[in-house]
Structure 1
């Protein structure tokens, strides 16, 4: 990275910092990287199942990630164009029952004023669903959805 880049304002560093905290499942530090109006859009599930704001985004992430026995983020290609950052990476999800899966992702972020304002995850949900244990799927289906935000108008 060039010497004159400020890690507190450089969109690449902000995005990578958030991913480091997510890999550690350090929920409060993940929230610190998100703007108050940040939208998290899990593309396979559509904009109607989005989350908005740090607390709700973290609640949304916890639904899937908190019950895991282990979660690993594998760095990949990072491309930035001003405030827009694309991050190709993979995640390994492991359950205590022994199942595991590697999920390839492309994630799009927009950064403004040192915070992520948009987070869109592109991945194949079928890969996850076919690998996950039935108990986790049942837990997912009955999870609290108070975080739910319909972002359809933002993405139509």
Structure 2
């Protein structure tokens, strides 16, 4: 599987809302960093984070609009669709993935927290 195919499969896996399956895409020492927050280090910690995220936002859909590859680095522009209190949140995101040995070694997402904060405040 190429780095691009791995990232495409990983993005589709979020629709399963299965923290174990999602975490298995990472190396043991993988790092997941939502840039507005602190990085999550290690597959076990990533699994725990994903479990909490899925519990808060339900099934998550990654709508990938563009994906670029340079060797083992994959970048995509996408819209993540989340649910919060019955409201659908569309979150524009740019993701950067570093692949090592057929697994994700690092994943960084860049996004604006405003859509989530607005939905959490009741849409005001």
C-alpha displacement at 1:85, in angstroms? 0.3
1:65–1:115: structure 2 CA closer, same or farther, 3 Å change rule? same
Q: As a proportion of its length, which structure holds more strand?
A: 2
For 1:137, the equivalent position in structure 2 comes to none
Cα deviation, 1:72-129, whole Å, max 9, x if unaligned, reads 221210100001000111111113x322210000000000100000000100012211
Indicate which of 22, 32, 48 corresponds to 2:24.
Answer: 32
Structure 1's unaligned 5+ residue stretches are 1-6, 135-156
Cα deviation, 1:40-71, whole Å, max 9, x if unaligned, reads 111012xxx21111121121122222233442
> Is 1:125 aligned to 2:108, yes or no?
no
For 1:147, the equivalent position in structure 2 comes to none
1:1-156, aligned counterparts within 5 Å?
Answer: 7=1, 10-45=2-37, 49-95=38-84, 97-132=85-120
Computed over aligned residues only, the root mean square deviation of the Cα atoms, in angstroms, reads: 1.6
Question: In structure 1, what is the Cα distance between the partners aligned to 2:60 and 2:73?
Answer: 26
C-alpha displacement at 1:23, in angstroms? 2.2
Could you state the TM-score of these two structures normalised by the residue count of structure 2? 0.88
SS at match of 1:75: strand
Equivalenced residue count is 122
SS at match of 2:10: helix
